[in-house]
Structure 1
Amino acid sequence: MPPALPEAEAVEQVRRQVDRLCWTGILLGLAFTMTNVQQFAANGAAAWSLPWLAAWLLDPMVSLVLLAILRAEQVTARYGIRTGGWVRAAKWFTLAATYVMNTWEAYADRSADLVVLHSVPPLVVFVAAEAVTDLRDKLSAAVRTAITNAAVTCPVTSPEADTERTPDPAGDRTRDTKRRTSFDEYLNRAREAWSPDATVTPAWIREVTGCSRGLSSRLASALSAEVTQP
């Protein structure tokens, strides 16, 4: 295996770990704020009364909109597409609304300890929301760079086809099989299997096309160049 390919797969593993950890932190932060937002919305209503039950809907309503916007930004940022002003305004509004509802009582009580306690989770969500898209984009770019470097420094010897060698029944020598799958055929298979959520790596190429390890680096480089074009 060319030396850059293990690096690409290692970066891809890190990218997935970072993505999962950031999203886990965001979800935990939003879950932490839910109780405070419910108390803010219930405004002292009796437990299990209709106002008390309805108050539980406020935080999920805001959080689901925020999560939808963050997920959409991950995909658009990957293709270099800028979202409109309304999208960014909606993200900032939902973040600000979560912060205000979570800390309102703490500020009203003039309790510095409670202000800090209830400020940390929404601020972590805010910072992570801004960072997760950029981190994912940069790590995906690092994967593509490693793939490109591998294709340049270690090109395959047969760029047009992936061949196999099988025993020759007429003798002890081996011969090339007649069945040959072209580079374009493998690339078409990869195009059909690709989706915006997929990260193009040699390992992914081998999984969806069945090509050899040597050819997978060139296929990954070619497909990456196609899907990252603006």
Structure 2
Amino acid sequence: MSIIDIFTALGWPRRLRLPRGWQLWVLALPASVAIWSGWVALGEMCAFGLVHPLPGIADQVQLNTAITLPVGVEAYSAYALGTWLSARPMRVKARRFAKWSSMGGLGLGLVGQVIYHLLTIQGYAKAPVAVVVFVSCLPVLVLGAGATLHHLIDEPAEKSSSAQAPAVEQPESSTMRTPKSASPPAPRAERPGRRKPKKAAPRRLFADYLTDARAALTPEVDPTPVWCRQVTGCSAGTSVNLAKALRAERDQTGPVTDLPNTTARAEEEVAA
């Protein structure tokens, strides 16, 4: 009969499902026995032993304080290690403290086991003074580290990151939209020292130049193209046509009514 048949006869299912993390229990069981026995024996070498925690109240109650070493040091190391590797949201400071304190707790446990075995093989019944001081400080250190880690992870991560992460605005629904204000938008303030763009001057026609030239013309002035350019500020081609028109008016009895439309042609000649 196999072991499976025995468990089946006792009522266990044929396909036995082992609990989650059973490999950890297999690894932790022998390690716990060795660690527990080492810390308890080292505590007895350092004057950890039976005490009466309630004198005068319950004198028959006794407690061996040597068990405080394995319970305190190793339990805190496992607690800090699980906090460091956990996926739960927490403050960065809390995760960093859990990381380094778990490594420190495991390091202290390693040193304690080494000290115990070295003292045992050398035949020490009582530990040296330096070892006693070191072991006596461990419960206080564990208490301080555990309280610090608890207070660090007690504050949620959202509270610490709310000041750094900007708030995300949710889009407004169609039913929650507020009506827009009917007031006109405020005028845009101009920057100091900024120049306004100049408006383009209106284009002048040949008749405009001719009117200016007639107003400045006197009987003793010869309307030459140079004089027309000085008076009206026209182009070279336009000044030639102005001079011809003014001279034609002088030769005729009345002012010229039908003027040649030569402005475009004169400007094309100047551009060429």
TM-score range with shorter-chain normalisation? 0.3 to 0.5
TM-score, normalisation: structure 1: 0.33
Which has the larger share of helix? 1
Higher relative contact order at CA 8 Å, sep ≥6: structure 1 or structure 2? 1
TM-score, normalisation: structure 2: 0.28
